[in-house]
Amino acid sequence: MTLDRLKIGKSSKIVEVRGEGALRRRLLDMGLTPNTEVMVRKMAPMGDPIEIHLRGYELTLRMDDAKKIVIEEA
């Protein structure tokens, strides 16, 4: 499963971060590494981007980018 399909308010663990270049590096640098627990906090009013909670802080990323983050099945 990928992060974009995680329901609001639910948590899961990251398995793998796909993608490439600047985007991927940025995701890794912000702490989206394997085994990190992430929670989807909310979705922006227009349905995109999403706000996630990890490592004690809030991060926002787009749905397209969330598709590249593989998480554990619930």
Partner 1 sequence: MILGLAGNQNCGKTTLFNQLTGSNQHVGNFPGVTVARKDGQIRGHKDVTVVDLPGIYSLSPYSNEEIVTRDFLLNNNPDAIINIVDATNIERNLYLSMQLIELDIPMVIALNMMDEVRANGGTIKIKEFQKQLGVPVIPISASKNEGVEELIDTVLEVAEAKRAPRRQDFCSGAVHRTIHSIAHMVEDHAQRIKVPPRFAATKLVEGDEPMRKALRLSENEIDMVMHDVTEMERELGTDREAALADMRYSFIESLCASTVVKMGESREHRRSVAIDRVLTGKYLAIPIFLLIMMLIFWLTFGVIGTALSDLLSLGITAVTDAADAGLTAYGINPIVKSLVIDGVFAGVGSVLQFLPIIVVLFFFLSILEDSGYMARVAFVMDKLLRRIGLSGRSFVPMLIGFGCSVPAIMSTRTLSSERDRKMTILLTPFMSCSAKLPIYAVFTAAFFPKHAALVMILLYVMGILMGVGSGLLMRGTVFHGNPVPFVMELPNYRMPSAKSVLLLIWDKARDFLVRAFTVIFVATIIIWFLQTFDTRFNPVSSGSDSMLAMIGRWIAPIFAPLGFGDWMSSTALITGFTAKEAVISTLAVLTGTDVSNLPQALSTLFTPLTAFTFLTFTLLYTPCIAAVNAVRQEMGSVRSAVGVVFYQCGVAWIAAFLVYQAGRLVAG
The helix (H) or strand (E) run that includes residue 72 is none
10 Å CB burial of residue 45 (0-12, 13-18, 19+) is exposed
- Which of 16/72 has CB closer to partner 1? 16
Least distance in Å: CB of 70 to partner 1? 12
- CA angle 20/26/32 to nearest 5° reads 95
- Which of 28/74 has CB closer to partner 1? 28
Least distance in Å: CB of 46 to partner 1? 4
Residues 20 and 57: their CA atoms lie apart, in Å, by 24
The residues binding partner 1 (CB under 8 A) are 16-17, 21-31, 33-34, 36, 41-49, 51, 55-62, 65
- Which of 58/72 has CB closer to partner 1? 58
